[in-house]
Amino acid sequence: MTDAQGPAGLPFAKMHGAGNDFVVIDRRQTAAPVTPALVRALADRHRGVGFDQLALVEPDGEADLRLTFYNADGSESAACGNATRCVARAEMAATGRARLVLRTGRGLLVAEDRGGGLTAVNMGAPLTGWQDIPLARAVDTLRLPLPGEPVATGMGNPHCTFLVDDAEAADPADLGPRWETDALFPARTNVEFAAVTGPDRLRLRIWERGTGVTLASGSCTCAAAVAAARRGLTGRRVRVDCDGGTLTVDWRADGVWLEGPVAHVFDGRLTPAFLAGLA
């Protein structure tokens, strides 16, 4: 995150939270533009680097950092909880600070070092009104008029959570794209399949809007926890087992806190030849 811009190429970091992986580009260290074409090329796991989302880090006049998130298809996402935690952990490691305020499309988010390698971020209050999520029309967000009666939640991006008996039996690759583009969701939606597996414990499988099946997702994990609590299936603090690892969600009066480990995998530099191929 702190390497200076070299004579050529574009520096980046590869990070992940519970297998939810990201490319992080720090615009404080390079002036190179980040375009939808670059995002899509970088997201290609065979010809690029590969990621679920890209996080662009920039300075901010009021917050410690400003973050912009891109899905693998080049579209923007206002919220990305695990990427926020990853960037916060890298900045904490670089500065020695234990608390940061980060600006995202979701607003100003507080991130904290919880010790033991755990980083937490307050993702803000969940949105449960149909127009705020947003949905296309006025419906009961606790039981949508769709097969399975999923729950709709806004976490800065829209979510559709199916509360199922067995998450392992769900097929996100088949069902996810079907509901992502349903007419009820004018901005498309993330899709989650959550099952209660114990006292205040969920098993979660995920289809992310603009990306596809992912091993974890911060905002999806928060939305699933909120949905289960609203239905009375769990309390407001739960452990959530995703395909890539376990995260903790604590829905407090001040917002929905997401906590878990992160990993800084490697730093790299895109070659001039790769960048030139996008022109």
pLDDT recorded at residue 267: 96
pLDDT at 4: 43
Structural element, H or E, at residue 222: helix 218-230
pLDDT at site 3: 41
Tokens 């670059």 label which residue? 38
Q: Cis ω on the peptide bond leading into residue 134 (within 30° of 0)?
A: yes
Q: What pLDDT does residue 118 have?
A: 98
Q: Please report, for residues 2, 20, 73, 160, 185, the alpha-carbon distance to residue 163 in angstroms, rounded to integers and kept in the order given.
A: 42, 22, 27, 10, 18
Nearest-angstrom CA–CA distance, 123 and 79: 8
Condensed to tens digits (0 to 9), the pLDDT of residues 244-258 reads 999 999 999 999 999
Of the candidates 159, 156, 12, the one whose C-alpha atom is nearest the C-alpha of residue 81 is 156
DSSP-derived secondary structure letter, 52? S
The reported pLDDT for the residue numbered 279 is 66
What CATH code would you report for 10-121+263-276? 3.10.310.10
Rg (CA), the chain: 18
Looking at residue 138, what is its pLDDT? 98
Coil, helix or strand at residue 13? strand
- Tokens 């030849």 belong to 273
What does the alpha-carbon distance between residue 239 and residue 221 come to, in Å, rounded to a whole number? Answer: 9
pTM of the model: 0.94
Q: Is the distance from CB of 113 to CB of 91 less than 8 angstroms?
A: no
Among 190, 158, 216, 207, CA closest to 21: 216
Pick the CATH number of 151-253 from 3.90.960.10, 3.30.530.20, 3.10.310.10, 3.40.50.1860: 3.10.310.10
CA 37 to the chain's CA centroid: 21
Inter-residue contact 153 to 226 (CB < 8 Å): yes
Can you give the residue ranges of every domain in the chain?
10-121+263-276, 151-253
Nearest CA among 153, 118, 160 for reference residue 133: 153
**pLDDT below 50 — which residues of the chain?**
1-7
Pair type for strands 158-163 and 190-198: parallel
Give φ, ψ of 218 to 5 degrees.
-65, -50
CA dist 192 to 36, 96, 143, 161, Å?
26, 36, 14, 5
On the question of a common fold for 10-121+263-276 and 151-253, the answer reads yes
The whole-number pLDDT of residue 2 equals: 40
Rounded Cα distance between 85 and 106, Å, is 14
Which DSSP string do the residues of 150-194 spell out, in sequence order?
-EEEESSSEEEEEE-S-GGG--HHHHHHHHHT-TT-TT--EEEEE
Distance of CA 85 to the CA centre of its chain: 9
